[in-house]
Chain A
């Protein structure tokens, strides 16, 4: 074969094209390394921690007092769940109602005003919500229920404000789910003589159920990982209590308080925050995966 037979466009090998492609591929792979990094770091430090502390004690003891070597995660986990469920008690109904209003009732003009407002609410840093909880919600609760019942730091206040924080998230995903329900379903129910409410509640909401569930689960996951509100308003010091008016430190609150105090490396204290981080990571990851699966399901049905 002579050289002239090679087509003209093959004469110039384009090395830089493949170099660029490799570079872009590495960029995409960075995200995988981040995940591996998180798992490796949390796993490694947790292993060191569980060499000192038995995993059974960690999961069952109701005392977290590092000073006397008591490492039971239950008090921290309990207050994390308390604040998160209070938050969901606010955000789930309110978010669902607002989403129904936006998707079924509101006119285009009203929606164009309301959606940016919700976006602003979503863009406010969490530390500002923490300030709000401490300077507004807590005094309000103390005014309503009495100074003696409600501590200065309490999980109820943190949870309520957290509900406002995750409200925009829950609303926007729920609204997307409701919007994805084909209009023909609504028309069919109107055709049967349903009122607007009946069409919304008996047809649209059940049809969008998996999407709504996904929104709630994602909201719960966000609430569990939320840090600054609980660090400011829920109080310092682990406390195993089911009373939302008492101070009780959450998983995230404990991590931020301990790491904020310039701890020294290779101590049980240092390792313990990674063990708590691992627990937190697993909980939120599981919830996110479930939520993702649910979202996929409603997308598959109607796309």
Chain B
């Protein structure tokens, strides 16, 4: 008997031990998310050592530029910058007509040119402040330290630049948004249409089952394969169409299919299976009585779908679509294959423009060797995550609200 009791004790000890292991595994998983977010925040803020290319003291001995008046500042500009640049400035707006603050900012940007020579992450900045001050004093005696948030208004509205502290993501955000709008315009009607056909019209025959299996398999195809498909079909095969040459945009001889249109269509194909699967789930949730009610008052099949089934399931369809679209926003690999653009600082003007997107920028900045670009990438990731979390949060919130409402009804 004592042997049996010992055995029970042992079994429960083992059981409790594994309970701890399971809980621990879950904590590890949650901790990973925390670590990931912390790592990004860590990169997006921190001290930077800024060094001027030309010290103000070299221009005026006191080092205080405010003492100079406008004509002196213009003189400084003219003596330090190339003739062509001055001519361009004069062409845009004659220097003499500009206000003193404008001239001052030009002097600042073009002549003094403060550059980040070294950056530190948030953790180092908080824990090793003294070491940073000491290091800067030793290595960069002319630099001054400044706490910088890489995520700042200038970053959001600035265009691409070759120096990290001036780089911005306006072009990328515009590119992402235009592509997403196109993606929705293609994928939403086709996806919902396909779901309606499969759930409401199709009879359970071999062909329908084949389509269903096919959709399931498509949803598992790696995204980079869609990139290859888009490259061969949209970029290369349909070049006159996707480059806009067919519609008189751009020069046909330099036509290039690597445009927003091609990217939008590729991403539409990518999220199509997800939208179809989600929309089918939504339609399945509509009670059969809804349809009977429609037929009962003499509606045709389509009238029933349009006036009863779709309104009843639209919230679920939208939720599923938002989740699919948020996947498209973060998708990088197929867009890199399609886009292949390296440096784009011009805003996309129409769907036949070349483009860059937020994930592409993050990819390029992360893969640069200069550590400052990692900080820029971290700031861009924060913007991307905020965008995605807002969308996902909205979708999850709506879903929970729906299921609560349905339960209370």
Contacts and interface: CB of A to CB of B under 8 A. Distances in A.
The finding on whether chains A and B are genuine partners in a shared complex, rather than unrelated, reads yes
Contact of B374 (A34, A37, A135, A292): A135
A265 to B, nearest CB: 6
Given A35-B217, A128-B40, A289-B217, A225 B33 contact: no
Chain A interface SS verdict (over half): helix
Given A197-B18, A256-B224, A128 B32 contact: no
Nearest to A101: B22
Contacts of B215: 31
Interface string B221-239: 1111111110111001000
Nearest to A33: B269
Interface stretch (B54-62, B247-255, B309-317, B376-384): B376-384
B225 A280 contact: yes
Contacts of B18: 197, 201
Contacts of B213: 292
Chain B interface SS verdict (over half): helix
Contacts of A288: 216-217, 220
A221 interface: yes
A134 B366 contact: yes
B198 interface: yes
Nearest to B12: A195
Contact of B232 (A31, A41, A218): A41
Interface string A108-122: 000000101111110
A41 B238 CA distance: 13
B265 to A, nearest CB: 11
Given A134-B366, A255-B228, A227 B333 contact: yes
A109 to B, nearest CB: 14
Interface of B: 11-12, 14-15, 18-19, 21-23, 25-26, 28-30, 32-33, 35-36, 39-40, 43, 189-191, 193-194, 196-198, 201-202, 210-211, 213-218, 220-229, 231-233, 236, 269, 272-273, 276, 300-302, 323, 326-327, 329-333, 336-337, 340, 342, 359, 362-363, 366-367, 374, 377-378, 381, 384-385, 388-389, 392, 396
Given A35-B218, A135-B39, A256-B227, 10 more contacts: A27-B189, A27-B194, A28-B194, A28-B198, A38-B229, A101-B25, A259-B228, A265-B236, A292-B216, A292-B217
8 contacts: A17-B302, A97-B26, A131-B40, A196-B19, A226-B222, A252-B333, A281-B222, A288-B220
